[in-house]
Structure 1
């Protein structure tokens, strides 16, 4: 149970990081 919970947390963290990277990549050209 603990391992699955930790795995879910890691997956969410990775997805959030990827989303933030995508947003920064999309917004940088617009800002610049």
Structure 2
């Protein structure tokens, strides 16, 4: 793996994590 692949993967993982956190916060606000 080259360094650019690692950067791309970390960017994707960070994006997915932020989306999951946002969804969790929205669901928590709605249901709790």
TM bucket normalised to smaller: 0.7 to 0.9
State the TM-score, normalized to the length of structure 2.
0.85
Which ranges of 4 or more aligned residues in structure 1 deviate by more than 4 Å?
none
Q: Which runs of 5+ in 2 are unaligned?
A: none
RMSD (Å), alpha carbons = 1.2
User: How many equivalent pairs are there?
Assistant: 32
Q: Which runs of 5+ in 1 are unaligned?
A: none
